[in-house]
Amino acid sequence: MRFPAFLVSLGVLFAQDPGPVARFDVADVHLSPKGQNRFMGGGGKFLRAGRMEVPNATMLDLIRLAYGYTYTPERVLEGPNWVEMEHYDIVAKLPPGTSEENQELMLQALLKDRFSLAVRKEDRPLPAYFLVSGKKPLLKEANGTGDTGCKPKAASGPPTEGGMRIGMNGVQIALGPGGTIEYNCRNVTMEAFASGLRGMLGAFEFGQNPIKDETGIKGTWNFDVHWSIGFIGMPGEPGERVTVPDAIENQLGLKLEQRPVSTPVIVIESVNRKPTDNVANIAELLPPVKTSVEFEVADVKPSVPGGRGGGSRNQPGGRFTGTNMALSTLVLRAFNAFNNEEVVGVPDWSMPERFDIVAKASTEPGQPVLDQQTLSLMIRSLLADRFKMTWHTEDRPVTTYDLVAGKPKMKKADPKERSTSKMVDAPPGWAPGSQSMVFHDITMEQFAEQLTGMAQGLNWPVTDLTELEGGYDFTLTYSRFPGMAMAGPGRGGDNGATASDPTGALTIFEAVEKQLGLKLVAHKRNMPVTVIDHLEQKPTDN
């Protein structure tokens, strides 16, 4: 069938004119400062003062923000090797009333304009898990009474020998020896158990694809199941770790099978490492925002005596909650510090002094959570107001480290592959509390940067002096807190290394030398530290 020429021309016109593209009014895009705390921001976005702020984001983070978080890291494929390593800061002005959908479209346009990003969407086979029935399921049929769902076992009475408690969603959870958690499941279908499994504490190994029920088991069931969550420093014999697949097979008579499944993915076709320059007057167009650094209201009270564990939650709407938090931890959190070298002068008595905090900041509608920098300033103001904390900053000599080459044992990487680093459980046979970091196509400069904060003693930026070029593939197994590993004979794992620590746990310094053929050499350098001048033991009244 032939169409009139004007209709053909009109069709071409429509195909070539998709309409106006949603764009930010103005955007500041630049590389994140080297040595910046990588935990700050981490690729999330924050909305304030009519702006979208994305601090410390990799290109992978930016793609996921622009195209939706259903595209997990495993679903963003190919691209140059730096897309998971280089970090960027973005501040962009939003037109009033911009919807969430248009925010994504604007970020897509920004990545195309400033980084020449080109991607395509397609389906590819990716691994997924299926819950299937074994020869004899070990389940008890439910009668429909009582609670529904799988819940971690709540703490009651003192912790068992070798166990501890942790705070989770405001509830104290009991952990058994070796960091084992027990889930009590009641009136649960196999479909609900499979779909909820990925969200359970310790079930991190299944990636982001949903777990599908193929057991064929109908009805609702009651059962208990426990496995290890890999808690650093928890006591327990080496090799005692109970994996989730083993727990499901041995305790429930079910199995987890892995198979490839056609999955929507994003493929990076091309992208520039360096963004185009900002406009010359960007500082005038996006001046610093003056925001409140104080909570609007805060309830501070001593925790119940004898409580163990604890933690904090940064919640949507500017809400911050802390449960059984040591005062010393709050002080470190106030300065975004992770060790006692960055903040000194914190009184010894502040560790056992624990508090519960519920605080609320005044935020704009649509603000998901407070950004980490603003939250730290608010906690700082809270401590100054309620605990009369005062402080100053000065340069002091501290222990820093240089990474140098001894007799390198690492494998040269294929430069066509993406650079990645991933924390996994240590193989069986390693000392309690050990963990492994798997690095792929990592330069020594990138490795030195990631070493900062990875374990005790590495409190300051590590300097790469190896003079080794290109990327390397290697695995580093060590204990983050070797002095905390308790029970079990000393073992050095598959590398044949034995540590001086009686538990056999390798410090990161030993692991770097024995496993990689590198060395961390200590030096004294002057670095800026925060000095706490005064801190009161009891807060002022609410």
Same domain membership, residue 70 and residue 89? yes
CA within 13 Å, CB half, 424? 16
Output the pLDDT for position 403.
96
- How long is the chain? 542
| Within-domain flag for 289 | no
Q: Of 349, 370, 394, which residue is a domain's last?
A: 394
- Residue 525 in any domain: the answer is no
First to last CA, the chain: 80
**Residues 136, 249 within the same domain:** yes
At residue 243, the pLDDT reads: 85
Band of pLDDT at residue 500, cut at 50, 70 and 90: very low
Instruction: Please report whether residue 532 resides in a domain.
Output: no
Q: With 50 as the cut, is the pLDDT of residue 490 above it?
A: no
**Cβ atoms of residues 271 and 118 within 8 Å:** yes
Out of 9-13, 86-90, 242-246, the most confident range is 86-90
The predicted-structure confidence for 150-199, as pLDDT tens digits, reads as follows 998 877 766 666 666 666 665 677 777 767 889 999 999 999 999 999 88
Query: 486 and 436, same structural domain?
Result: yes
Give the total number of structural domains in the chain.
4
Question: Which domain-ending residue is among 362, 394, 426?
Answer: 394
Within a domain: 401: no
* Helix-, strand-, coil-residue percentages of the chain, each rounded to 5: 20, 35, 45
Is 287 exposed, middle or buried, given 0-12, 13-18 or 19+ CB atoms closer than 10 A? exposed
Q: What is the SS3 assignment for 31-56?
A: ECCCCCCCCCCCCCCEEECCEEEEEE
Q: Which two tokens stand for residue 359?
A: 């605080």
Who wins on pLDDT, 373 or 520?
520
Q: Is the domain of 60 the same as that of 168? A: no
**Residue 33 pLDDT grade (very low, low, confident, very high; cuts 50, 70, 90):** confident
**Residue 435 three-state SS:** strand
Q: Does residue 316 lie in a domain region?
A: yes
Predicted confidence at residue 144, as pLDDT, reads 83
> In angstroms, rounded to a whole number, what is the distance separating the alpha carbons of residues 418 and 236?
36
Q: Which residues of 167-198 are buried (b: 16+ CB within 10 A; e: fewer)?
A: bbeeebbbbbbbbbbbbbbbbbbbebbbebbb
**Residues 223 and 184 occupy one common structural domain:** yes
| Domain span including residue 208 | 128-263
Q: Are residues 243 and 132 in the same domain?
A: yes
Q: Is 248 helix (H, G, I), strand (E, B) or coil?
A: helix
Q: What is the pLDDT at residue 119?
A: 96
Residue pair 303/309 in contact by the 8 Å Cβ criterion: no
In a domain, residue 400? The reply is no
Which pLDDT score, from 0 to 100, does residue 365 have? 56
Same structural domain, 243 and 167: yes
- Pair 368, 310 in one domain: yes
For 441, counting Cβ atoms within 10 Å of its Cβ (0-12 exposed, 13-18 middle, 19+ buried), the class is buried
How far is the C-alpha of 224 from the C-alpha of 221, rounded, in Å? Answer: 10
Is 526:397 a contact under the CB 8 Å cutoff? yes
Write the secondary structure of 302-344 as one string of H (helix), E (strand) and C (coil). Answer: ECCCCCCCCEEEEECCCEEEEEEEEHHHHHHHHCCCCCCCCEE
Q: Would you say residue 218 lies in a domain?
A: yes
Q: What is the value of pTM for the model shown? A: 0.77
Residues 113, 220: one domain?
no
Within this chain, do residues 101 and 45 fall inside the same structural domain, yes or no? yes
Residue type at position 104: E
Both 182 and 237 in one domain: the answer is yes
Domain presence at residue 17: no
- Whether residues 302 and 247 share a domain: the answer is no
